[in-house]
Amino acid sequence: MLPLLALVVGAGLLGFIIVIMDDGEFPGWFRLILCALAALIPAAAIPSMLPPQDAVVGVSAGTGAGVVVSGFAISALCGMTFKRGCIAAGIYLFLQMALMGGAQFLMQS
């Protein structure tokens, strides 16, 4: 249940970013969940395929792949250009990592 809630919150965050960038209206939950999955799946899959000593390379490559794949998804589903979709996906992944890092820090304290 918690991963589904995190996906919906992430889709809402991505929708907020897209609405601010486009000065338009909310694209819809289904489209945003697909765009969030397009960003998160490569960002999580690529680092898990590499050995632990290559963690920095894996996170960087995964984030880059997530931005490109999500840029295509945002451009196809939400009507933004590919460049603006990649910028929105980059902001989304940065905020997602910051929120996860902050949550881990709070849980350790």
Domain extents in the chain: 2-108
Residue 13 has pLDDT above 70, yes or no: yes
Distance CA 20, CA 101 (A): 24
Residue 1 has pLDDT above 80, yes or no: no
> In this predicted structure, what is the pLDDT of residue 71?
95
Distance CA 105, CA 17 (A): 25
pLDDT band at 108 (very low <50, low <70, confident <90, very high): confident
Asked whether the beta carbons of 47 and 62 are under 8 A apart, the reply is yes
pLDDT tens by residue, 40-95: 999 889 989 999 898 889 889 999 999 999 999 999 999 899 999 999 999 999 99
pLDDT band at 107 (very low <50, low <70, confident <90, very high): confident
Residue 2 has pLDDT above 80, yes or no: no
Give kind and range of the element (H or E) at residue 105: helix 82-108
Q: Apex CA 7: angle with CA 86 and CA 2, to 5°?
A: 155
